[in-house]
Amino acid sequence: MDREFWMGPSFPQQPRELLNRLKSYGVCVVADALKGFNAMNGSIQPVVPGKCICGCAVTVRLHPGDNLLLHKAIESAQPGDILVLDTNGSYRRAVIGGIMSGAAFGKGIGGLVVDGAVRDVEELRAHGWPVFAAAVVPCAADSDGPGQLNHPISCGGVPVHPGDIILADDNGVAVIPPTWVEWVLEGCEKRHQSEARRMAEIRQGQLTSAAVLGKLEKLGL
pLDDT tens, residue order, the chain (221 aa) = 455 778 888 888 999 999 999 999 999 999 999 998 999 999 999 999 999 999 999 999 999 999 999 999 999 999 999 999 999 999 999 999 999 999 999 999 999 999 999 999 999 999 999 999 999 999 999 999 999 999 999 999 999 999 999 999 999 999 999 999 999 999 999 998 988 888 898 999 999 899 998 998 999 98
DSSP state of 47: S
Contact 171, 28 (CB under 8 A): yes
Percent of the chain with pLDDT over 70: 99
Buried b or exposed e, range 151-177, using 16+ CB within 10 angstroms:
bebbbbebebbbbbbbbbbebbbbbbe
Q: What pLDDT digit, counting tens, does each position of 130-182 carry?
A: 999 999 999 999 999 999 999 999 999 999 999 999 999 999 999 999 999 99
